[in-house]
A and B are shown apart, each in its own frame.
Chain A
């Protein structure tokens, strides 16, 4: 048999297919899909189907990977609605703006950054991406959550005096330092997101609550 190498090359295809199937991370699977496409193009070419091989390489690998990448990037995302001021704090990396913002809000930037880092850490364990959507005021934020533009909102608790007193009361009742530290209030309308944030604990920086949005708008 002169064509022994054919068996070896053909055996690569199920091998890479198995590796692809057992990937958990979508981005890793995307890269392995590229490898799989390259191997498939090789197999087709060696077996004599040059046209199939060319199509696999150009469409199956190039176009499919690009489209999948766009799809994964836009779907695996948690849209977090925040107030414009908070975003200004979080993005102020230069020392000048940091000093300026600290003059207005003594501990807001660091706490907000810590909250985002913690949230990002939790989300990345589930291969999700965090996207901040700034809104001008709390009403717009609330409206966006109700109309399902965003998945969750995050506001500082000191925005209204009522919430501060509520927080103090809570701290007095429970005598818990965690509540006293809770500076931000995160609301989400997605049950799995709520459970994710609840179980794995963002509690040191934020209070997490779940709001149910009525499904009536969905019914047409």
Chain B
């Protein structure tokens, strides 16, 4: 359990580093998408290993609904970028 989750933790650090270092907002958004999916998968793994269905259901809901916020944010940022490039 420790080894599996430790490796997932290391994998989670990669997009966090990317979100921290990269100045391009789209790269940050990609890192956000990666992290949102990875964390919900980790919740599911923990739920299965502990045989705890309550956490499992929460993991499924976060995994399926979590991307909606991402879509809204991406839409707003895209519009902002369009407005900025109009004048160039």
- A interface vs B, CB < 8 Å? 2, 4-5, 8-9, 12, 15-16, 19, 25, 27-28, 30-32, 34-35, 38-39, 41-42, 45-46, 48, 50-51, 53-54, 57-58, 61-62, 65-66, 69-70, 73, 90, 113, 116-117, 119-120, 124, 129-131
Docked-complex contact B29 and A31, CB < 8 angstroms: yes
Query: Is B48 an interface residue, CB under 8 A from the partner?
Result: no
B19 to chain A, nearest CB (A): 6
**Which residues does chain B contribute within 8 Å of A57, judged by CB atoms?**
58, 61-62, 65-66
- B interface vs A, CB < 8 Å? 1-2, 5-6, 9, 12, 16, 19-20, 23, 25, 28-29, 31-32, 35-36, 39-40, 42-43, 46-47, 52, 54-55, 57-59, 61-62, 65-66, 68-70, 72-73, 76-77, 80, 83-84, 87-88
Docked-complex contact A53 and B35, CB < 8 angstroms: no
Looking at chain A's contact residues, the main secondary structure is helix
A4–B9 CA distance with the chains assembled, in angstroms: 12
**Which residues does chain B contribute within 8 Å of A39, judged by CB atoms?**
35, 39
